[in-house]
Amino acid sequence: MKHKILQFTAVKTITLSLILIVALLAVVTTGASSQQKSTAKPVPPEQEKQLIAAFNRHVKDYLKQRKQVKSKLAPLPKDAKPEQIDTYQKSFVEGLRAMRAGTKQGYIFNPEFANYLRTIIKTEFPPQDKAEVREVILEADTKGVPLKVNYPYPETKELTQMPPTLLLKLPQLPKELKYRYVGRHMLLVDTDNGLIVDYMLDALP
């Protein structure tokens, strides 16, 4: 009887030890996995320079197109009425759309640059800031905004202001362009006429 009790105790001890080892391995594996997920590969400095240079080059191309279209429009009088401003903006958008006909998504936010931005957005924020930024962005009324290049941003929809903490991390834009969020996606929008110049998917922190 004593032998059976000792045998049972030994088996129980071994079983508990195995459970503890498995649990410990699970914790270590989970920790390593979490660390791997939260640690993104930084972009090498030289590649970063090239990506930003290409981005700035495409932005300047758009500004040239914008300037050409604007030069053909009759200037607005200083005391322009709302209907005059509305006509001017519509002509501005129509001229840009015609000049940019055939431009596809990714011309400015090309895949390499979009991945670079996602890396910045996901790695440069502490968890508490990520939660705050997500809340501000996802609460905005942007349902129905088209994810289409060369389409105007609907005037009836909320223009999501970029949180300052996020804006400081992103490549700087000229005053003619703004970053905007629509749900999980980031848009590049013309400041004056609301034209969607380009967009990228899955850009939330």
Between residues 58 and 13, the one the model is more confident about: 58
Each residue's pLDDT tens digit, 151-202: 999 988 888 877 787 788 889 999 999 999 999 999 999 999 999 999 999 9
pLDDT band at 205 (very low <50, low <70, confident <90, very high): confident
Between residues 123 and 39, the one the model is more confident about: 123
Between residues 101 and 17, the one the model is more confident about: 101
Between residues 135 and 80, the one the model is more confident about: 80
Each residue's pLDDT tens digit, 8-40: 444 444 444 443 333 433 433 344 333 333 445
What are the residues facing 185 on neighbouring strands? 182
pLDDT averaged over the chain?
81
Q: Which residues of 137-148 are buried (b: 16+ CB within 10 A; e: fewer)?
A: beebebeebeee
Tokens of 198: 């380009």
Strands (E), 55-184: 177-182
What are the residues facing 186 on neighbouring strands? 181, 200
Residue 40 confidence (pLDDT): 55
Residue 125 confidence (pLDDT): 73
CA gap 90, 175 in Å, rounded:
20
Residue 204 confidence (pLDDT): 86
Residue 154 confidence (pLDDT): 92
pTM score of the predicted model:
0.76
Give the total residue count for the chain. Answer: 205
CA distances from 28 to 18, 19, 70 (A): 15, 14, 61
**Helix, strand, coil shares, percent, the chain, to 5:** 55, 10, 35
pLDDT band at 4 (very low <50, low <70, confident <90, very high): very low
Between residues 150 and 31, the one the model is more confident about: 150
Residue 121 confidence (pLDDT): 85
